[in-house]
Structure 1
Amino acid sequence: MAPRKLAAGNWKMNGDLAALDQLDDMAAAAEGATCDVLICPPALLIHPMMARIGASDLLVGGQDCHHADKGAHTGDIAALQLRDAGATHVILGHSERRADHGETDAMVRAKAQAAHAAGLTAIICVGETEAERDADRTLDVIATQLAGSVPDGANARNTVLAYEPVWAIGTGRTPTLDQIAQVHALMRDHLSARLSDGADVALLYGGSVKPANAAEIFAIAHVNGALVGGASLKAADFVPIITALDAA
């Protein structure tokens, strides 16, 4: 099978009940699309979001999970709890989690294993900092993160990889098309060598994706979709990205 295209929106620590009004147009765009459409809101919004979209094709996911099924982990959320609330996916290893919470590759790997055990698709994020890019270490950094963060049980059905250069997230800056292509080729080669169906794992690009640049990004080899931050908060911005991916 070919990688399934995915337009994923990461609302981060944004949104409230009133923001759910944005879902109507997003759900309409998801109906009959050739790509999957996913919104990952703050955890408190997952249940009301599920109630709002009903039987829509729009998917809902979490932004993180703990590696344990349950226990004395105040403030954390288990993958099983996300699944119980209706989530189908969970974002893991986002650079903001790695930087703000000290998450290591080993921690991300353990969380991905928990997500898989719970029946969730793990969206595992990798990406280099500006200093690493300037030092020409991008490919080494990505290869190390892939080796350490992706569990052996990963496959095209339970795992999605997202490349998000840290210096491009929320800054309006975007790597060149050649730079994006280089990293995605590395990711594809790594997964193909390691996993029996690595050629079919969806690879997303994230980092200041917007309607104006979506089509040219989706035309790059091995780019199967996007992990979108700020532009996923409003339907007026996210729907054109969905449309561009659907046409890619």
Structure 2
Amino acid sequence: MRKIILFGLVLMSSLSCMAQDKMYEIHGKVTNFNGVPIDSVTIRLMNNKFEAVYETLSNEDGDYLMNVKEGDYYCLYAIRLRDYRVRKLEYWNWNVPVHQNMTINPQYDRMEIYGINAFEPQVTPQETYMIYFRPMSLSKSLQLVSDQKIEKKSFEDAERTEELLDKSDKLINISPDSITQDELTIEINGMPSKIVGINKIREYARGFFMYGYCVQVLKPKQNNEALSGYDLISVTLNSAETGEIGKGEAFVRR
């Protein structure tokens, strides 16, 4: 009898915890940079172990919807899988705080804006953000694969490109050689942000070096709050060197 009562208490406690889990909606529309909807795009919400915890597909109108448990998620990414490394690269949105219903509208093409991080320099007034990101060009990636005589199918199927590369050459040079203010658009909560500095940075990761960029921007004087307590930073690069365009986003706690 005691075991039955104990089991009942544990079950009731579990059900109570489940009932307390808040669920919120992430929805949006996937388009190209001309506003044309993209169907059959896989959208995944990832945890900090880079595991997909929620996944859905966009419909013929580019619309998607996910009901997810409240929490802070590492990133959200979008790509039509059959296009990846063939015709397009990915869209990423970092540090996704799901504490209310959210709208995220992915856009992607052949330039991937990866690994966005942002912080406020320790100086008053706190009027700027330093934004780091790594742009990756599909055309330069394909050229690298060709130069190293890697089979195209192996490149398309590889989980990580660096696993296929010649380990004697420690540089993966797939970013634009330079970026100007005319090529780069930074928005904070949908408002244009003035760029005051662009610096190229050599980054180390998994045994190789790659190039990223650190951009300092002024915060817009008018701040249309995208999400309570957070700024949404959007980075769009239209590279004159490669003729490719890409976009990435990240949420930053204020």
User: TM-score scaled to structure 2, two decimals?
Assistant: 0.29
Q: Which has the larger radius of gyration?
A: 2
User: TM-score scaled to structure 1, two decimals?
Assistant: 0.30
- The structure where helix makes up a greater share of residues is 1
Asked which structure has the greater RCO (Cα within 8 Å, sep 6+), the reply is 1
